[in-house]
Amino acid sequence: MDIYTQGAEDIIPAEDLDLKVAKSVISGRPLNIKLGLDPSAPDVHLGHTVVLNKIRQFQENGHTIQLIIGDFTGKIGDPTGKSAARKQLTDEEVKHNARTYFEQFGKIIDMEKAELHYNSKWLSRLHFEDVIKLAGKITVARLLERDDFEERLALGKPISLHEFFYPLMQGYDSVVLESDVELGGTDQHFNVLMGRHFQEKFGKEKQTAILMPLLEGLDGTEKMSKSKNNYIGIDESPNGMYGKTMSIPDQLITKYAELATDLSAEQIKQLQADHPKDAKMFLAGTLVRMYHGAEAAKRAEQHFTAVFQKGSLPDEMPEVRWHGVKHIPVIDLLVELKLQPSKSEARKMIQNGGVKIAGERVDDLQQTIIVEDDLVVQVGKRKFVRLKVS
């Protein structure tokens, strides 16, 4: 039983879950475990796997996974045209994104056994009359309790009326699918509770909400997300995944291990006793093993040790075809190659001793580089580029 609550930030109501699981065991009827998916951003990263790992645990115990693609909203987009994130998707884009999701999900859950639903199936059939009846089941005050709505109203920032419908739809999905449990991040607190609200209003049994913590990204502060570029994608190469994991702050090792891996509680305890460097390498190896297998994990570790710990060049590195001038000041070269965002940043990096050309540290800010075929430019510990001159 504990496995379901492990790692969860909040379970609402706390006592319901045990009861539901017990009933299911007695009746032999599996629970419906719901997870809603936004069809607009189908790249799955470790942040997503926090809930996916949790639903896998339910699936492993015979419960039914309900994956819901929120394609109805996706197809409408943002009617005010103000939110770039809510651009209108075509049927084909929705299908493509859903396939992308499912291919990646297959690494974590058994997609053969999961139910797939597109909520446009029931939502697009609602008429104005049905919408009014649905709207009659909730008050404006209740909707304004959502943190961001409350804040925006207080600050005089506009809330378009259609935004009130996103939580309604999410709640109504639970009514239609008769979900017993809904998973979500803590930022979904309000929306997941809408399921309970509407199930009750429609005379159905209320689902339990399991809210999982949000995983911080590589920067250690912001929530992991694609737009912040602080993520580890589950489709990344073994070396990329390993290297990125090695760059997270030490204090996140345990959290990553708990929320994003299949490590047992004992293994995690062991990890905490290790030196942070070793712990992080074990974490990185675990993630690569989960998504690429044990063999790949071993190779990624060897690669990392070879490159970053011994200071040698990596076996593989990006090649850039050079079309520019053959004699170029080192600062300009770094900016041109986008290895540094600005000249001042490039200058700082050189001053800190972080730039090597053909294996030699650059100390002179004014140095002119003669570009040749196979010249390797290195910035910091992990950025390499091999220049190709035709």
Q: Is 138 in the site for its own copies (CB under 8 A)?
A: yes
DSSP lists the bridge partners of residue 211 as 10, 184
Q: Which of 160, 229, 302, 368 binds its own copies (CB under 8 A)?
A: 160
CA distance 318 to 387: 9
Nearer to its own copies by Cβ, of 26 and 128: the residue is: 128
* Residue 117 backbone class (left: φ over 0; alpha: ψ -120 to 50; beta: rest): beta
Q: Is 156 in the site for its own copies (CB under 8 A)?
A: yes
CB atoms within 10 A of CB 156: 6
Q: Give the containing element (helix H, strand E) for 67.
A: strand 64-69
Mode of pairing for the β-strands spanning 115-118 and 64-69: parallel
Query: Is there a contact between 354 and 361 (Cβ–Cβ < 8 Å)?
Result: no
Please, what is the minimum distance in Å from the beta carbon of residue 185 to its own copies?
Answer: 24
Burial (CB count <10 Å: 0-12, 13-18, 19+), residue 63:
buried
What's the chain's length in residues?
390
Q: Is 161 in the site for its own copies (CB under 8 A)?
A: yes
Nearer to its own copies by Cβ, of 54 and 86: the residue is: 86
Q: Which of 38, 43, 78, 345 binds its own copies (CB under 8 A)?
A: 78
Nearer to its own copies by Cβ, of 156 and 318: the residue is: 156
Q: Which of 153, 294, 358, 365 binds its own copies (CB under 8 A)?
A: 153
Q: Tell me: is residue 228 an annotated ligand-binding position.
A: no
Stretch that binds its own copies, among 137-145, 175-183, 268-276, 370-378 (CB under 8 A): 137-145
- Paired tokens of 238: 């073994």
Q: Which of 135, 306, 328, 371 binds its own copies (CB under 8 A)?
A: 135
Q: Is 84 in the site for its own copies (CB under 8 A)?
A: no
User: Rounded to an integer, what is the distance from CA 198 to the centroid of its chain?
Assistant: 28
Site mask, its own copies, residues 58-77, x = CB under 8 A? --------------x--xx-
Q: Is 275 in the site for its own copies (CB under 8 A)?
A: no
Q: Which of 113, 133, 228, 269 binds its own copies (CB under 8 A)?
A: 133
CA distance 198 to 174: 8
End-to-end CA, the chain:
63
- Judged by CB under 8 A, the chain residues 312 through 341 that form the site for its own copies are none
Nearer to its own copies by Cβ, of 197 and 383: the residue is: 197
Q: Is 132 in the site for its own copies (CB under 8 A)?
A: yes
Place of tokens 């065991």: 25
Q: Give the containing element (helix H, strand E) for 319.
A: strand 319-321
Place of tokens 């053959």: 326
Nearer to its own copies by Cβ, of 3 and 153: the residue is: 153
Q: Is 140 in the site for its own copies (CB under 8 A)?
A: yes
CA distance 283 to 260: 10
Q: Is 139 in the site for its own copies (CB under 8 A)?
A: yes
Question: Which distant-in-sequence residues (6+ apart) come within 8 Å of 262 by Cβ?
Answer: 53, 286, 290
Stretch that binds its own copies, among 13-21, 156-164, 286-294, 322-330 (CB under 8 A): 156-164
Q: Which residues bind its own copies (CB under 8 A)?
A: 72, 75-76, 78-80, 123-133, 135-141, 143-144, 149, 153, 156, 158-162, 164-165, 168
State the binding site for ATP. Answer: 226
